[in-house]
Amino acid sequence: MNDHTSKKFDAELEGIRTRVLQMGGMVELQIVKAMEGLSEGDLLLIDQVIENDNRVNHLEIELDEACNQVIAKRQPTAVDLRMISTVQKTITDLERIGDEAKKIAKTAKQLHTTGSSFAPQIRLGHIADAVVDMLRTSLDAYARLDTIAAAQVVRHDKEVDAEFKGIMRQLITYMMEDPRTISQSIELMFVAKSVERIGDHAKNIAEYVVYMVKGRDVRHTSLEEIEREATR
């Protein structure tokens, strides 16, 4: 590959990388708006999240096509191929995060249009803030090729999973103590599950970063192994 072609290739990769981060920022905002719509009962905000999901979907398609074109034209190898592979996996997870934000928004709309006075008093803000922070950290790790930050995201996912289980136990208790809360408790279970899945997708992105930088697929390995690989 001559110098001119190499520079053009590098520019193409940088353009793709920048658009991945833009997509990440978009889905992060979708989560924040969906949770705010849920807590505040802001139907306008809720509708924005539902409508904007199409933008996330279109961006995934555009980026996937851009990656396929780079593979066909440039036939990347080694680190460059890992980078393209990481992008294609990452945008799939980002699109699925967008889907979960849309689910939260739809549930929020259902909860606030029925207007039941028997809603269980449960706070989902903390776990939502935690997964947004995980997503932000995983994207920052992707941008800076920071495997140590990526490993921290995987560790935080364990904490989110534990908090999710606590929320589910709390909601089950509400339903047992007051059957009038059953309908809304079930809806909030769906919200909590969506938030927990967002954390899983953020963890996936962090694992892809380790693969991109270190060349080792750390999916389905222990946290300790991931942390060892990240610090090598």
Burial of 149 (0-12, 13-18, 19+ CB in 10 A): middle
Q: Which helix (H) or strand (E) holds 161?
A: helix 147-177
Domain extents for the chain? 3-231
pTM for the full predicted model: 0.93
Residue 223 pLDDT: 87
DSSP conformational letter for 215 = S
What whole-number distance in Å separates Cα of residue 181 and Cα of residue 44? 26
Half-sphere exposure of 169 (CA within 13 A, CB side): 6
Digit-by-digit pLDDT tens for the chain (232 residues) are 445 468 888 899 999 999 999 999 999 999 999 999 999 999 999 999 999 999 999 999 999 999 999 999 999 988 999 999 999 999 999 999 999 999 999 999 999 888 665 666 678 999 999 999 999 999 999 999 999 999 999 999 999 999 999 999 999 999 999 999 899 999 999 999 999 999 999 999 999 999 999 998 899 889 888 999 888 8
Phi-psi region of 188 (alpha: psi -120 to 50; beta: other; left: phi over 0): alpha
Half-sphere exposure of 146 (CA within 13 A, CB side): 13
- Cβ burial 53-70 (10 Å sphere, 16+ → b, else e): beebeebbeebeebbeeb
Nearest CA-CA partner of 26 in 111, 118, 129, 98: 98
> How many other C-beta atoms lie within 10 A of the C-beta of residue 220?
7
Residue 87 pLDDT: 98
Measured at the CA of 23, the angle between CA 19 and CA 25, to 5 degrees, comes to: 115
Contact in structure between 127 and 197 (CB atoms under 8 Å): no
CATH number of 3-231: 1.20.58.220
Residue 118 pLDDT: 61
Contact in structure between 53 and 13 (CB atoms under 8 Å): no
Residue 214 pLDDT: 94
At residue 113, the 3 state secondary structure works out as helix
Residue 116 pLDDT: 63
